[in-house]
Every structure is written in structure tokens, then in C-alpha cells.
Structure 1
């Protein structure tokens, strides 16, 4: 009976020891699992907040760079918007520069060339004829500037006398002709009546000014019906103007 009781006690002690061992093992696994779960949760929270977690160094660096770029306005989206808005190198800046540059260009039309202009002549309403009116019409597709006055040759270009301009007829600014628009110049051809210096002219040449002097080429102008009695010694021309003006264009 004593032997049986001792065996029973030893068996009970072994079972108790085994239970304690299993409990200790189970407790260790639970603690480790909780710790791992907490670390994983912290890692997920760190990644979701812009990469400030300690688990993934690459994610943290990228998150920090994005935040820095966002604050400085140099990010791919924020930077483009901010740069364009401030007019530095974005769309607004380019548009403003284009507008300024475009304004300057359109305000100054190039000088009219002989191929841009058609010139006609008409007698003034007087007897005998002492004056004609030249009309220059822009036949090109773009605006051009008529500089100074018509360079007229009543005869061969190489030998014809230069016809001087009347200073008082000079406008305040050169005439800019839009496509199809006309300009005018009053021209004295003689002092009237019969004179030994008069010569009959059926056509004559008109040249234009360029920015640095007479332009290349000339325009052949047909004289009004019956021709013109021209005295080169008495001939004078007015400047090109947008319209003929009483007083300034009378000479």
C-alpha cells in the first residue's frame, strides 16, 4: 500500500511538471506573437504616414523626400504649377514674354517694297494741270510702312532729275498700310501753261525708300490720259500721308 501511494504521488508530480512546462512554452509563444503583431502594426502605420516607419529604410527616405519636395514646391506636380503661376518658366511666364515680344513686332511693320505697292496717278481738278495725286495701295497680304516720299523719275532713271520733297508735308510718323489700304502724295509737275522746258510724259518711275535708303526696284506708273506736261525744274513732291491735308499738301 505504501508503494502504491508513492507511485501515485510521483505520477501526479510528473503530470504537474509536464503541465507547467507546456504552460511556460505556450506563454512564450503568445508573448512573441503579440510582439511580432505589434511590430507589424507599427511598420504598417509608419508606411501609411509617408514612410516614417523604421522597418523599411527605402520607404522612409522616399516619404521624407516627397514631404520635402511638397514643402519647397519643387515636386513634379506642385513644382510645375507653382513655377507657372509665378511666371518664371511656366506657361504664364512664356505667355507674358510672348505678348511683350509679339506687341513690339506687330507695332513696327517692315518697309514697303516695290512688289508690295501699286501706284496710280490722277490729275488734279485744275486747268492747266499743275499737280497730280499719287495713290499707293498695299497689294500684299500683310502690313508695311511707306517711308518718306515717292522717289520720282520723269524720264530715264539713270539721267532723270531728282524731284525734291516739300518739308511741310512730312507727317508726324511714317504711314503704316494695312493690306488693301491707300496712301497719297501730292506732286507738282509744272507751273502751268506752255513752257520751253515742258516735256510730255506718258509714264514715269516711282521708287520707294527702305530703312537705309532707296529700295531696290521701281514701279512704272502710267500717266493720266493725254500724258503730262512736266517741267522737272519746277517739279516737287509731297510725303506719303494717310490723307491729303489742306495747307500742308498744297504747294
Structure 2
């Protein structure tokens, strides 16, 4: 059921479900696009379907397979991912009214890295962030090897809320310590033209990083956590 639009980037700097048919993903090409002026808040979400599907579960115990420890960081010694390790793509879901956004991070280096906890998220110059986390921690931390992917889902707004139209998401990454890197500027990733502007309310939240796309969809669409 996945829709969307795709963009991957190592972008420019700013200040800072299991759904029966939901399988959004990303076909990413690095880009350095910066956000443009915001579109009207009534702009519709994209209806162009993404091209990749959720990853298959990995075998436990090896670096880069996403199972190096628990959701608090575990015992893995794999370095934390940063902007130089990742390309980022954004996409949305069909029949979703633009209330959610999927972020897909792909490791384009030749070594494994770990996406700890949840992404630090803002929305360009419109909303500084970081927005709070939602849902449970994953069973395993998101360690990704070369060309492997991890996912985070964003809940953007509830019906009836006052919203702001945004055309970029700002992303930062944590180290092993929860809440780390708050002093590091987030990078802006502009939405592709197919996605257009999205509306963000005052209660936006992000899931934890997860190697399992279906687990992210469960939190966003099945658990009701986005409405809490």
C-alpha cells in the first residue's frame, strides 16, 4: 500500500501494520537538495508507489545484521552511523491522508554502522525539533551493513489539529547514549516533487529505528500509538 516519493541524500545542513498491502520503500540517489518555500497546507501527498519492499529478517549475532544487542544499545561495538554513512529516502503510504512519513536509511559504505535509538527529527526552518519518540523499542538495535537499510516512521498530525506545511525533514543521529548529539546540527532532506509539501501538527512523533519495516508499520497503523 505504499506510496511515495523517493529521495536519498547526504543533504545540506540546517540548525537544527503489518499492513496487508503496506510495503513502502525507497529507490535512492544521493542528493544535496535544500528545502524550498513551503507549499499550501492543503497540498496532497504523493501517489507514486515506491519500488522496494521490506527487508528479510537477518540471522542474529553478526555485525551489520541489526541484531547486535537490545534496544538500549546492547553489547555491539559497531560504530554509530552518521551523515557520511547514509543515504536517506522519504516516502508516504497510499490512502493515508498524508499523516505519516517513512524514512529509509541505506548504508552506502563498505562497513557496518548502527542507528541507535530513534532519529532526531525536525522540519527545516519551520519546526526545530527534535520531536519525541513513540512506540516500543525494537527487539534489536538497527545495525546495518553495506547496502542494508533501516526504517523510521513519522506520525505527522491528528485530524483537526492546526498544522504547518513543510517541504523538508531535518535528520540527526544518536550515539549509544540516549539523547546524545543534541548539539550537532541536523541535515535537511527536501521532499521530492512527487511528494510535495506535508502538514505537521504540534504532536508529531517518530518511531525507533528498525530493520523490520513491518514492525514500523505496526506501530504507526495497528497499535494506535500515533493517536496517543
Short-chain TM bin? 0.5 to 0.7
Q: Which residue of 2 aligns with 1:202?
A: 167
Q: Which residue of 1 aligns with 2:139?
A: 172
Task: Give SS of 2:121's match.
Answer: strand
**TM-superposed deviation, 1:249:** 4.4
Deviations 1:101-140 (A, max 9, x none): xxxxxx6311101111111111122241110111011112
The number of aligned residues is 141
Bigger proportion of residues as helix:
1
Q: Which residue of 1 aligns with 2:106?
A: 137
Task: Give SS of 1:240's match.
Answer: coil
* Cα pair 2:118 2:174 within 8 Å, conserved: yes
Q: Which residue of 1 aligns with 2:128?
A: 160
Q: Which residue of 1 aligns with 2:88?
A: 119
Q: Which residue of 1 aligns with 2:197?
A: 227
Task: Give SS of 2:117's match.
Answer: coil
TM-score, with structure 1 as normaliser:
0.51
Query: Is residue 160 of structure 2 the alignment partner of residue 190 of structure 1?
Result: no
* Cα pair 2:88 2:103 within 8 Å, conserved: yes
**TM-superposed deviation, 1:204:** 2.1
TM-score, with structure 2 as normaliser:
0.56
* Cα pair 1:128 1:192 within 8 Å, conserved: no
Task: Give SS of 2:84's match.
Answer: helix
* Cα pair 1:114 1:217 within 8 Å, conserved: no
Q: Which residue of 2 aligns with 1:76?
A: none
Bigger proportion of residues as strand:
2
* Cα pair 1:187 1:236 within 8 Å, conserved: yes
Q: Identify unmatched segments of 5+ residues in structure 1.
A: 1-106
* Cα pair 1:183 1:241 within 8 Å, conserved: yes
Q: Identify unmatched segments of 5+ residues in structure 2.
A: 1-75
Q: Identify the structure with bigger relative contact order (alpha carbons < 8 Å, sequence gap 6+).
A: 2
Q: Which residue of 2 aligns with 1:104?
A: none
Distance 1:190 1:198, change over 3 A: same
